[in-house]
Amino acid sequence: METDFNKPKNDDEALTEKEHDNDLINVRAIITCSHCGTKKTFINKFSQNSMEQMIVSLKVFDWLTCDKCGELLKLDLNFTI
């Protein structure tokens, strides 16, 4: 597949891309284990139209346990809308 990176964008494409960027919700998930100190950070972007995908992704964290000690992990979320 060929992609034109150096091709200048016309005004319509630039506006559509800018509107799409404004529609995104940036989510940073920080997963920590209070028992052994393990810490992992995940970053993802979701459009406001696809909130179901974000909800399903966050429900997965609900049952995660630490692979080192087996304790339940703590989830902290940071949102940028």
Domain boundaries, the chain: 23-80
pLDDT score, position 71: 92
pLDDT per position in the chain (81 positions), as tens? Answer: 334 444 555 555 544 554 555 788 898 989 999 999 999 998 988 888 888 877 887 788 778 899 899 999 999 989 887
Structure token pair of residue 7: 């091709």
pLDDT score, position 5: 43
Is residue 46 classed as helix, strand or coil in its secondary structure? strand
pLDDT score, position 9: 53
pLDDT score, position 8: 52
What's the whole-model pTM score?
Answer: 0.62
